[in-house]
Structure 1
Amino acid sequence: MVFVAVAVFVVVVAVALVLLMSTAIGAFSAMFSEMRADSARRRARRGDSPVSTAGPVASTSADPLGELADDMRLAQARRWASCRSVQSRLPDQTNETSGYVARALDIWGGGDLDRLRGDRVGQIVWTTAMVADSVARHPAWKLDFFDRHAVRVDLDGEVASIATAAAGLRDQLDILGDSPKGHLGVDDEVIATFTEKSRVLSWRLDGLVARVEAFADYEQIVARIQQRQEKQAWLDRVSAIDEFEHVVDAEWDRAESDRVRNMAGESEVLASIYLHEIAPLAKSLKRSDAA
């Protein structure tokens, strides 16, 4: 009987533990699910990412395509301004025939350089090539400092990576095309899909511009290293000038100036004596001799 009672007790305790663990797991699962949902809601409110895990959702706006067009224009204006800002910080003498520009054009698919600069996506590629060319033209870029500290960026690789991504986005934007028209322009699913994909592509372009800005910040660091190198070279060059030696020479020059000035004063006194006393006496002696 005692054995049976112990066995029953053990079974009851085991069942209780299982139920307790199941309850705890359920509570934790619910808590984490709520945390994930709350995090997703916060991200949606902040607009951190336009990517949605759900299907396209119809907009509640009266003119969703018009609202989207306004947002896309603002986003494009921001990207254009960012590229212009980067370009304004670079030296004016950009080499339009540099290897980086040629590499960017080749990846872009060739064409005219002016068209690349004027394209809404091509401007990102052009700005990247300008930054790479500017970095390479700094004499300090040849210093082994960047290799010793493992901070040398692969300029050609950076240009190729950004240009490749930009060309891919350009092609996808071409596939997406303009805003739907006709019966497609009033279809909720079509509008929602077009809106979502437009925002995703715009978000990707923003990411490329941010990458170009980081690349430009790197160029500014290289430029500052160049300035420091030029400053040090100037200091090394002028260090050959011995300040102490020049102080001694300057003191000697001052003493010589005083000596010459004193001699000039004495000469003036002697000249005055000669003119006022000796010269008339000499004339009278000459007249006496003549008589």
Structure 2
Amino acid sequence: MAILMLTPIVMVIWYSLLDGVITNKDSQLVGFDNYAEVLTDPVFYTAVRNTLVFTVSSVVAHFGIGLGFAMLLNTPLLSNRTKAFFRVIYVLPWLFTVAIIAVLWRLLLNPNGVVNYLLGSVGITGGQTEWLADPSTALAAVTFINIWAGYPFFMISLLAGLQGIPRDLYEAARVDGATPFQQFRNVTLPQLRPIIISMALLDFIWTTQQFALIWMTTGGGPINATEMLSTFTYKLAFSRYEFSVASASAVIVLLLSMVLAFFYVRHQKARD
């Protein structure tokens, strides 16, 4: 733990207090100047806004789609063979690596790709939309890709929770005259609440740190339309070679993640 976690964190915090030449013995201690540079950079606030939109939209959609598919896979109206077939279909996006997902959707969203062909054939678009290269659609496009790739995590977790709810609760609710919606609101959701909160907090933390998908689809562009905190920090370090400023940005992201982690740990302790 000390070698793999504590030491790198301490080193990054120390680098964030130095000037730009962190590998030089003559590097100077500049205090919080690097933090001031990050916090006065307009691109940083663009990255914060994009990260919030990307994360909140993804988490809400992951929950909604995951819960819907989990209830479909848990319904007694379908045979076990049918549910097994759809379980395989629904979980497929989770089996692909990020690189495959990025390449797949770049091909699908290409101006000459399948998505444009289908939308153009029904008259929804002109058929040549630059989904990932247009600043007005790029953020929505990468958010959609992330939703498609991440909903199985919620689906599998919620399906396990649904299968663990005692059937006696539903039978008692039906005896009391509860409608299916009332059973869902008063039986299903309260029983799933601990799982929902845990999954939402974890998904929020993971999504705010999403880097590979953004980098391999848009690279944070076009014109910072999909710039995230992760890509912003990466560019500071490996495009502008301002490692100390990038370290300051990383520390800020770490502090934000620690706030989310605090609420997750607090919820887990309350649940235990």
TM-score bucket (shorter structure) = under 0.3
TM score, norm. by length of structure 1: 0.24
Structure holding more helix per residue: 1
